[in-house]
Amino acid sequence: MTKVKPLANRVLVEVQAVKQKTASGIIIPDTARQSAREGTVIAAGPGTIESPITVQPGDKVLLGPNVGTTINVEGKDYLLVFETELYAILQ
């Protein structure tokens, strides 16, 4: 198994699938799905002196629609983002 250890203040996030429909069956158009997304932190770098890491693996986070770099590890897509691109930790 390939292990990914982010460097500096980068975070590896598994993004949750975007909902295509609401609970009542209304189809959400692509333009509306471009809003903030939720994900789970898989790994985090050690941080830097100027920017220490505040998230930990397992944290649920909120991130923007067009941030980070998509990487594929053993057939699964992840997002590699700077911690500053995360909007919030969801509790």
Q: What is the pLDDT of residue 64?
A: 85
Q: What is the pLDDT of residue 3?
A: 87
Going from the N-terminus, what domains does the chain have, and what CATH number goes with each? 10-90 (2.30.33.40)
Tens-digit pLDDT profile for residues 22-67: 677 766 666 655 677 899 999 999 999 998 999 999 999 999 888 9
pTM of the model: 0.81
Pick from 56, 60, 65: nearest CA to 88: 60
20 or 63, greater pLDDT = 63
Cα angle at 17 between 72 and 86, to 5 degrees? 75
Contact in structure between 62 and 38 (CB atoms under 8 Å): yes
Which of the residue ranges 11-15, 23-27, 75-79, 80-84 would you say has the lowest mean pLDDT? 23-27
